[in-house]
Structure formats: C-alpha cells, structure tokens
C-alpha cells in the first residue's frame, strides 16, 4: 500500500518519498521518549514562572525547553540512527544509485565472478563510523535523555 501511494503521488525515487515514511515510522519512538521526559518536569516550575510574570511562551523557552534538551538530543540521535540504518524503504522506493542510501548501496555491491567481501566490509566500517562517533560524542546526553522519563524512587 505504501509503494502504491508513493507511486500515485509520483514520489518514487525522490528524497521526499523516503523522508515521509521515515518520519511517520520514527514518530512513535519520538513521542514515547519525549512524553515520558516532559511529564517528569514539575509543573510547579511553569507555574512559578507565570507568578513571576512570564508568558506561556517565555516559560516554555526559558524553563521547559532547557530541561527537555537531553531528551530532545537523545530522540534526535536515535531517530538519526534509525533512518541511517533503514534498509527496506530505501531498497523499495529508490530505483537508481543516485538516491540509494548507504545500506542499500553496500548490499548491492557485486563482483563479476566473486563477492568483494573486503570492499563490502570496508564500506560497512565507513558507514558505521559517523553513527559511532555521534554516539561516543553524545553518550552522556543519550543516558540523560533515556533516564529522564524513567520512573524513579
């Protein structure tokens, strides 16, 4: 059904044709992580800001948003990892090598008479490097974001 929908909208082999399914399938994870963490922020902080004369927008930008930054960062990183590693949509919705994602390009490596395992593994290492570096750089934020919505006590 998704392929037929994208074909009727003429989105096969286009970037929006990949971005829309990625967004819709990543949305539940995003909502799940952010809902748990934002519910843990005490409403008393927002009420105190209103008592001090802050508008709803000011209390959101000055109090709630900074407290939610670890969860937002975690959600962004996990969504990036999901989209970076996704295979099925990229294989189904792209036709030529111009718009194929890295996992699809690696899977389609072929030699004439043998499988080029060395090239495939080298490409896999190169494709994994950005994600690994991102996780290493933001590991503290990831842990903070994942534990922000946890039940404590």
Residue 112, pLDDT score:
81
pTM score above 0.95: no
CA–CA separation, 19 and 6 (whole Å): 11
Name the one residue in this structure whose structure tokens are 């194929």.
Answer: 100
Look at residue 152 and tell me whether its pLDDT is greater than 70: no
With bands split at pLDDT 50, 70 and 90, how would you rate the model's confidence at 150?
A: low
Of 119, 124, 146, the C-alpha closest to 135 is 146
Burial class for 56, CB neighbours closer than 10 Å (0-12, 13-18, 19+): exposed
Residue 10 gets the label, from left (phi > 0), alpha (psi -120 to 50) or beta, of left
Percent share of the chain, pLDDT over 90? 41
Residue 29, pLDDT score:
86
Average pLDDT over residues 117-135: 91
Domains of the chain, first to last? 2-148 (1.10.3720.10)
With bands split at pLDDT 50, 70 and 90, how would you rate the model's confidence at 78?
A: confident
Residue 113, pLDDT score:
87
With bands split at pLDDT 50, 70 and 90, how would you rate the model's confidence at 26?
A: very high
């Amino acid at each position: 059904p998704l392929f037929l929908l994208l074909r009727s909208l003429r989105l096969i082999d286009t970037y929006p044709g990949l971005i829309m399914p990625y967004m819709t399938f990543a949305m539940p994870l995003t909502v799940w992580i952010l809902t748990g963490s934002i519910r843990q922020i005490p409403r008393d902080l927002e009420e105190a800001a209103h008592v001090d004369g802050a508008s709803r927008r000011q209390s959101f930008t000055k109090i709630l948003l900074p407290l939610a930054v670890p969860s937002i960062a975690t959600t962004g990183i996990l969504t990036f990892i999901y989209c970076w590693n996704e295979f099925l949509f990229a294989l189904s919705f792209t036709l030529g090598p111009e718009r194929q994602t890295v996992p699809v390009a690696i899977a389609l490596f072929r030699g004439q008479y043998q499988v080029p395992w060395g090239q495939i593994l080298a490409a896999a290492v190169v494709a994994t490097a950005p994600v690994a570096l991102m996780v290493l750089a933001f590991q503290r934020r990831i842990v903070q974001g994942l534990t922000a919505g946890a039940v404590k006590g």
